[in-house]
Amino acid sequence: MRASAPLTESKAPSIPLLQRAFQNHSFVALLYILPSLILLVFVVGYPIFYTILLSFYSTPAISPDRYWVGLSNYTDLLRSRTFWEATKNTLYWTIPSTFGAFLLGVPAALALNQTLLGRSLLRSVFLIPWVISTVAAAYVWRWLYHSDFGLINGYLMAWGVSQRPLLFLDSTDLVIPSLVLVNVWKTFPFVMVMTLAGLQAVPSELLEAASIDGAGTVRRFFAVTLPYLRNVFLITFLLLFISNLEHFTIPWLMTGGGPARSSQIWVIDIYTTAFRGLAFGLASAYSTLVFGIVLLFAILYVRLLTRREGVEG
Amino acid sequence: MKLLSMRTSRRGSGLDTTIGWRILSWIVIALLLLFTVVPLAWMLSTSIKSQVAAMQQPPRWIPEVVTWDSYLKILDPRQEGGQRFLRYFWNSLVVSIATTLLSISVTIPAAYAFSRFRFHGRNALLLVILMRNMFPAVIFLIPLFLVMRTAGLVDRHASLIVTYMTFGLPLSIWLLKGYYDNIPRDLEEAAQVDGATQFGAFLRVTLPLSAPGIVAAAIYIFIQAWNEYLYALTFLNSDRRLTLPVGLQAYFSEFITDWPGLMASSFIMSIPVVMLFLILQRFFVQALTEGALKS
């Protein structure tokens, strides 16, 4: 009896309270967002926190213990020659990959934009490399590059371009350019689609006006079309640059970082440090460093987007 | 409507005045088409060759003897090799479909809330979600691996599904939010006047109107999950649990590389995503560009 009295008492006001809670937008919104939020906290938030934390510890491979070492993982890393080699390789991989995709993707979009015949069919075909698994792409290209039985060396020798097979993936000079070509094959369709979308935003009246004023094709492109594409280009460039900076699969499956670490880029270095060397602490410091660099570009991307929003709104 | 869009896009280029430019663009298209198609065609060509024919130099596009052995070997459930390949395929299918369904059902209410409600921290939260895919996968790899190990999820498909669910989150939320922003609130209110609850109004009015967005987001999520390699490589270790991208490696590194077999497997692996993409590409291309460009 005594127990039930306060219970009924509290139950009475709780119904309007609940109703009020459901009328409160913040509360309902929270309910709707909660599943996504939990997922993000568990899979994104906590790992970032944990990586940064772990980067201050030494984690010997043989024992489950870890020891606080302060910043020494960072100093070890920045003093090691391998880190700077990997940095050089990463830039050598990222920058040509990104520009290469633009070099093919933008002309593809401009050319497609003026053909009406079979445009959507062509667009689909161009997008296939982008849609298929990077794993399939890596295997196909490894086979194309094969020094003894590959298609490319086969033609080079049959046409007399080269006397002996080129070691696309086994020479320290050729390996990164060869990998970059695969990446360009895989990503130029992305630049193409984005540019095509950007081209739809160019007002045709402006182009007509420019043409009446006597501007030629090239002039019109630079004076009217390009300014409209500027934002699309910037955003696409950043997105692609970031994703190339943290790319793993193509070099991993085609060379494993070799020969002689000449295609060892950051992410591969981190992966091998962690899962081959079992140095989780050091690898975490490495990750945190790369994370910081990527974050700079990510912030730039978000600022670009919100600036656009500001202009439109 | 269609005529109009064709007209604007034709004018939109502003380049179609001279014959010279037209020829130039066809040259550009032809060269890029060659670059795009040769590797894909070579994959197919190799897959119907015997091991010996594949190693013939100079290269032949069409083998003297066409053989389907490589396909039979990976697709025949009576053989041990076929069983393995089909199991990887099945694992990929389970993981990708589960990821897609769960991800969409988490995304819809979130996108709806971001569109309809104004609440504290809304913009900050949106920005964080938008930035999710900017972070390098490796930064999550070590801690997630350790978390999954503690939770006993290593070598289970659940570890991949949970991780993959967050990949599509930013794009789906942005995309669907865009749809909900464009669906007038009056429509829902009208349904509510007719006696539906708010949730009922959402189910009967808003949800069907956003179907194209849901389809686009679902394809995107499925393709990402189907193709993912790094997490699958890290989280799974027993052969019977592997998904296709990691499975192929385990499958072929045991022998001297069987190139026709590897090409046949790569081809089979590409079929589901390419088919999905081709059938629904209108939605997909829209998702891709709007997700990145519109805010």
Residues A170-215: pLDDT tens digits? Answer: 999 999 999 999 999 999 999 999 998 888 878 888 888 888 887 7
- Chain A positions in Cβ-Cβ contact with residue B12 (cut-off 8 Å): 113, 199-200, 202, 204, 207
Reference B177, options B225, B121, B129; nearest CA is B129
Contact by Cβ (8 Å): A312, A263 = no
Asked if A162 has any chain B CB less than 8 Å from its own CB, the reply is no
Best B134, B206, B237 member to test A by mutation, with max A CBs in 10 Å, is B134
Interhelix angle A280-312/A226-245, rounded to 10 degrees, is 170
In a domain, A220, yes or no: yes
On the question of a cis peptide bond just before residue A189, with omega within 30 degrees of 0, the verdict is no
In a domain, A12, yes or no: no
Q: Which residue type does A20 have?
A: R
| CA distance linking residue B31 with residue B35, whole number of Å | 6
Q: What is the mean pLDDT of residues B56-83?
A: 88
| CA distance linking residue B114 with residue B129, whole number of Å | 11
Half-sphere exposure of A45 (CA within 13 A, CB side): 10
| CA distance linking residue A47 with residue B132, whole number of Å | 12
Chain position carrying tokens 């593809």: A108
Reference B96, options B270, B245, B215, B227; nearest CA is B227
Say if residue A256's pLDDT is above 80.
Answer: yes
Best A143, A243, A289, A308 member to test B by mutation, with max B CBs in 10 Å, is A143
| CA distance linking residue A26 with residue B113, whole number of Å | 9
pLDDT digits (tens, 9 = 90+) for B221-251: 999 999 999 999 999 988 899 999 999 887 7
pLDDT of amino acid A2: 42
Chain B, 50 to 89: residues with Cβ < 8 Å from chain A are 54-59
CA distance B79 to chain A (A): 23
Q: Which residue type does B267 have?
A: F
Chain A, 22 to 61: residues with Cβ < 8 Å from chain B are 25-26, 28-33, 35-37, 39-40, 42-44, 46-48, 50-51, 54
Interhelix angle B211-227/B157-167, rounded to 10 degrees, is 130
Chain position carrying tokens 């209108």: B282
pLDDT band at B294 (very low <50, low <70, confident <90, very high): low
Contact by Cβ (8 Å): B217, B276 = no
Cβ burial, residue B230 (10 Å; 0-12/13-18/19+): buried
- Residue A181 has phi, psi (to 5 degrees) of -60, -40
CB contact under 8 A, B110 and A33: yes
pLDDT of amino acid A310: 44
Q: Out of 3.20.20.80, 1.10.3720.10, 1.10.510.10, 3.40.50.720, which CATH number does the structure's domain B78-293 have?
A: 1.10.3720.10
Other beta carbons within 10 angstroms of residue B164's beta carbon come to: 25
Highest mean pLDDT among A135-139, A147-151, B115-119: A135-139
Of A10 and A23, the structure prediction assigns the larger pLDDT to A23
Tokens coding B133: 């895919």
Other beta carbons within 10 angstroms of residue B254's beta carbon come to: 8
Give the nearest partner residue to A298 out of B56, B106, B131, using CB atoms: B131
Reference A202, options A187, A186, A222; nearest CA is A222
pLDDT of amino acid A171: 92
Asked if B149 has any chain A CB less than 8 Å from its own CB, the reply is no
- Chain B positions in Cβ-Cβ contact with residue A277 (cut-off 8 Å): none
Say if residue B123's pLDDT is above 60.
Answer: yes
CB contact under 8 A, B117 and A284: no
Least confident of A209-218, A242-251, A272-281, B222-231: A209-218
CA distances from B97 to B103, B129, B276 (A): 10, 22, 13
In a domain, A288, yes or no: no
Ordered alpha helix ranges (H), A115-164: 119-131, 134-145, 151-158
Q: What domain range includes position A92? A: 88-263
pLDDT digits (tens, 9 = 90+) for A96-105: 999 999 999 9
Say if residue B12's pLDDT is above 50.
Answer: no
Asked if A223 has any chain B CB less than 8 Å from its own CB, the reply is no
pLDDT of amino acid A43: 86
Domain ranges in chain B?
78-293
Contacts (Cβ under 8 Å, ≥6 apart) of A311? none
CA distances from B264 to A12, A210, B251, B254, B269 (A): 68, 53, 13, 17, 9
| CA distance linking residue A303 with residue A280, whole number of Å | 33
| CA distance linking residue B219 with residue A146, whole number of Å | 34
Beta strands in A234-309 (DSSP E): none
pLDDT of amino acid A21: 63
As a whole-number percent, the residues of chain B with pLDDT over 70 amount to: 89
Chain position carrying tokens 């649990």: B241
CATH assignment of the domain containing A238: 1.10.3720.10
pLDDT of amino acid B27: 92
- Chain A positions in Cβ-Cβ contact with residue B19 (cut-off 8 Å): none
Of A91 and B3, the structure prediction assigns the larger pLDDT to A91
Asked if A304 has any chain B CB less than 8 Å from its own CB, the reply is no
Reference B220, options B267, B285, B158; nearest CA is B285
pLDDT band at A24 (very low <50, low <70, confident <90, very high): low
As a whole-number percent, the residues of chain B with pLDDT over 90 amount to: 36
Of B68 and A202, the structure prediction assigns the larger pLDDT to B68
Q: What is the mean pLDDT of residues B280-284?
A: 76
**Cα angle B192, B198, B204; round to 5:** 75
- Chain B positions in Cβ-Cβ contact with residue A47 (cut-off 8 Å): 139-140, 142-144, 147
- Chain A positions in Cβ-Cβ contact with residue B161 (cut-off 8 Å): none
pLDDT digits (tens, 9 = 90+) for A60-98: 877 777 889 889 999 999 999 999 999 999 999 999 999
| CA distance linking residue B41 with residue B28, whole number of Å | 20
pLDDT band at A22 (very low <50, low <70, confident <90, very high): low
pLDDT band at B255 (very low <50, low <70, confident <90, very high): low
CA distances from A257 to A85, A250, B225 (A): 12, 10, 25
pLDDT of amino acid B17: 55
Give the nearest partner residue to A135 out of B113, B138, B229, using CB atoms: B229
Say if residue A220's pLDDT is above 90.
Answer: no
Question: pTM for the complete prediction?
Answer: 0.88
Reference A46, options B120, B219, B139, B295; nearest CA is B139
Say if residue A260's pLDDT is above 60.
Answer: yes
CA distance A234 to chain B (A): 10
Say if residue B210's pLDDT is above 90.
Answer: no
Interhelix angle B122-131/A25-40, rounded to 10 degrees, is 20
Tokens coding B11: 């004018």
pLDDT of amino acid A9: 42
Beta strands in chain A (DSSP E): 57-58, 67-68
CB contact under 8 A, B21 and A275: no
pLDDT of amino acid B10: 44
pLDDT band at B149 (very low <50, low <70, confident <90, very high): confident
pLDDT of amino acid B8: 42
Task: Indicate the number of domains in chain A.
Answer: 1
Average model confidence (pLDDT) for chain B?
A: 84
Ordered alpha helix ranges (H), chain B: 2-13, 19-47, 51-54, 69-75, 80-116, 122-131, 137-150, 157-167, 169-182, 185-193, 198-201, 207-209, 211-227, 230-235, 244-252, 259-279, 281-293
Best B8, B19, B138, B243 member to test A by mutation, with max A CBs in 10 Å, is B138
| CA distance linking residue A220 with residue A24, whole number of Å | 53
- Residue B17 has phi, psi (to 5 degrees) of -80, -50
Average model confidence (pLDDT) for chain A?
A: 85
Size of interface A-B (CB pairs under 8 A): 329
As a whole-number percent, the residues of chain A with pLDDT over 70 amount to: 89
Helix (H) or strand (E) holding B77: none
Say if residue B142's pLDDT is above 70.
Answer: yes
Closest-CA residue of B relative to A35 is B106
CB contact under 8 A, A235 and B117: no
pLDDT band at B44 (very low <50, low <70, confident <90, very high): very high
pLDDT band at A138 (very low <50, low <70, confident <90, very high): very high
- Residue B27 has phi, psi (to 5 degrees) of -65, -45
